[in-house]
Structure 1
Amino acid sequence: MRAWLPVWAVLALSYCCTTVASEAIPVELVRHEAGWQLLRGSEPYVIRGAGGDYSLEELAAAGGNSVRTWGGDDIDDLLDEAHALGLTVTVGIWLGHERHGFDYSAEAQVEAQLERARDIVKRYKDHPAVLLWGIGNEMEGYEEGDDPVIWKAVNDVAAMVKELDPNHPTMTVTAFVHGGRIEYLHKRSPAIDIHGINAYGGAVVVPEFLREGGATKPFVLTEFGPLGPWEMPKTEWGAPYEQTSTEKAAF
């Protein structure tokens, strides 16, 4: 999804627009007996944010502290505005989807994608608003999510990012956690630090799925909200029902 989304939060961790001086604020993950903790500038940091690139003042006024983008093209003004408002940014690095025509078996396409990612990281890695690198969003598809070629490409991007920028953790985002997602993320993409998870009606069972799947990485709930159309019953002519505004608020 590429629209404004509700709040997203770390669950496994506990005036525009002048140019900002380039000085990265280091972000790291620390593992304790109780779980993972995100540190920013050596201080505990819990994400309270939203997905999108606008309404930042409203987000800050509501108590939010972070935004997530799906892509990282020309986001200089966004980073500057976020920093001025005391917000951080998970910078998205868009990875191709096979259903959109991207071919992970085509070496030239994969290499070009890697180089685009490299350009984004080199351009923004020292900006103080950067929190994480969001490498891909649902690039594994909507089925089993167990294509080793895709997961290798994800890992190659993540490894490159970590080489260029040791100051910010890497995250990739999957469409829920079913199929082979947990296994392949852990076994095929070791350079990914954080598992970002998009979940709507299934958000409440994400921790259970992760435990049963043997997950060891920290995770972030990167998209959630009311039931999606794919989760709703359908009319006799095949159109999904939609929750009322009252039902959405209660949900």
Structure 2
Amino acid sequence: MYKGLRYLLFLWVIIACEEKSPSSVGSDRAVYIQKSDSGYSLIRKGSPFKVKGVAGQDSLTLLKQIGGNTIRTYDTVGLKAVLNKANAAGIAVIVGIPLPKSNEKWFYDNNNLIAAYKKSLASEVVKYKAHPALLFWCLGNEPNYYDFFNYSFATAYNQFVDTLKQLDPNHPVAWSMANFSDRAIINISLKISGLDLIMFNTFGRLPELQQDMQNYEWLWDGPFLIGEYGVSGPWETDFTSWNAPLELDDIKKAERLKYIYKQLPNDDHRCLGSLAFFWGQRQEVTGTWFNYFSDNKETNTSVFALADLWGEPITGNVPPVVSNLRIDGSNEYNRLLFNPGSLHVASAAIMDADDDSLFVQWDLKPEDWLLQMKNTPVSIITIPEKYDSASTSILKFQVPEREGPYRLFVKVTDGQGHFSSTNMPFYVVR
């Protein structure tokens, strides 16, 4: 019976997808996807264009210097300035258009809201469709379309794609997906029309992606792009007993980046390229988890690792190193349970290959893992110190009286535009 159902689904998909393959005609288009015997290619300005870039929009000159050619935005705020800066730097832009998640019925069941969104979408498309830096549009980031019976989302999404295509037939339209989801692939194949490619945002599961795609190649065999890759996310790492995710220090992050880069499906005939995450500064569980830059625009070892991977190594001064963070001599995270107001000693090894004078800043911040730390918490303690090029930084501190989870951060800067950081969670128990 299962084989019979699968066969019926296969026939349904063939019929539904008959007109959905990306267009390879129209060489006069600014950007398009071309299918040949050797696979898919993204064509820009008449030539094949392999995406080698980042998600984020900071430091475009540096990005170009280390071999990058593309950035990805997640909204259209300040888009004109972003496009102009990118064009001046020789960088292409994947423009993200924000969209509510697929299960947000308040939006997709409201015809007035749908009409208003289409009007706003049309305005943005008309405004930027002729910009020379525009590579393609990404309609929504991870809509999470897993519900087989959610037709209102598909109806609205198809209207939005139609609006995009009618107003701008010269640039592809992409879907963004978290990892590979068979349910989402089925929904897209059967209910969504007009898409040119799928972007996969994938971190710890990246090594599994090619096998997942091979398993469902009978259902979907179109072009794709790795829309985000990097160190394992805070949902994929080890956790303390109170569910606080453990973050790697910057040196280990660079090592992980080099490993995960080798897992990219660059040789896959359907792959159009990849984007490292995150080229900027953002808060996601912590203010350092994915970031290549500090809030002061300093760069860490991940920038240097990416430059090496892209074949354009950065020479000269390198970032400092901070490692081996301990509290009371221990890094056994499940033992870091403290009494309210108790006194403790934290230590971290710091060094710099260039013998720069180092500035060390300790920060103690509260955590709320239930809210996923989307807002940057205010530091309870901030202590800056200055050291010579190699030493052990020691912090004597008192934990808060209030029960709950906290995290101790240490950041080292070298005065040359570089930084390194690490952190450790602990819990105050009454």
TM-score normalised by structure 2 residue count:
0.50
Displacement of 1:98: 6.1
* 1:157 equivalent in structure 2: 160
Is residue 2:79 matched to residue 1:71? no
* 1:171 equivalent in structure 2: 174
* 1:236 equivalent in structure 2: 241
**1:123 equivalent among 103, 122, 127:** 127
Farther-moved stretch of structure 1 (197-206 vs 100-109): 100-109
- Structure 2 counterpart of 1:159, which letter? D
Contact 1:38–1:46 (Cα < 8 Å) also in 2? yes
- The superposition leaves residues 126-168 of structure 1 with CA deviations (integer Å, 9 ceiling, x where unpaired) of 1111110111001226xx3653332332222112111111110
Q: For 2:127 and 2:239, how far apart are their aligned partners in 1?
A: 46
1:124-139 mapped onto 2 (5 Å cutoff): 124-139=128-143
Q: For 2:102 and 2:188, how far apart are their aligned partners in 1?
A: 18
State how many pairs are aligned: 226
- Structure 2 counterpart of 1:137, which letter? N
Displacement of 1:180: 1.1
Q: For 1:63 and 1:216, how far apart are their aligned partners in 2?
A: 29
Displacement of 1:103: 2.7
Q: For 2:101 and 2:128, how far apart are their aligned partners in 1?
A: 24
* 2:5 equivalent in structure 1: none
The 1:184/1:101 distance shift into structure 2, 3 A limit, reads closer
**2:151 equivalent among 112, 126, 148:** 148
Is residue 2:40 matched to residue 1:36? yes
**1:221 equivalent among 218, 223, 226:** 226
Displacement of 1:211: 2.2
Contact 2:102–2:153 (Cα < 8 Å) also in 1? no
The 1:205/1:152 distance shift into structure 2, 3 A limit, reads farther
- The runs of 5 or more residues in structure 1 that have no matched partner are 1-23
**1:201 equivalent among 201, 204, 212:** 204
- The runs of 5 or more residues in structure 2 that have no matched partner are 1-27, 257-430
CA RMSD after TM alignment: 2.1
Displacement of 1:110: 2.2
SS in 1 for 2:96: strand
* 1:9 equivalent in structure 2: none
Contact 2:29–2:169 (Cα < 8 Å) also in 1? no
Displacement of 1:75: 0.9
More helix per residue: 1
Is residue 2:147 matched to residue 1:112? no
- Structure 1 counterpart of 2:230, which letter? G
Is residue 2:91 matched to residue 1:80? no
More strand per residue: 2
Identity fraction in percent: 29
**2:191 equivalent among 167, 188, 193:** 188
Contact 1:137–1:174 (Cα < 8 Å) also in 2? yes
Structure with max Cα Rg = 2
The 1:102/1:244 distance shift into structure 2, 3 A limit, reads farther
Over 4 Å off, 4+ runs: 98-102
Q: For 1:136 and 1:189, how far apart are their aligned partners in 2?
A: 13
Displacement of 1:113: 1.9
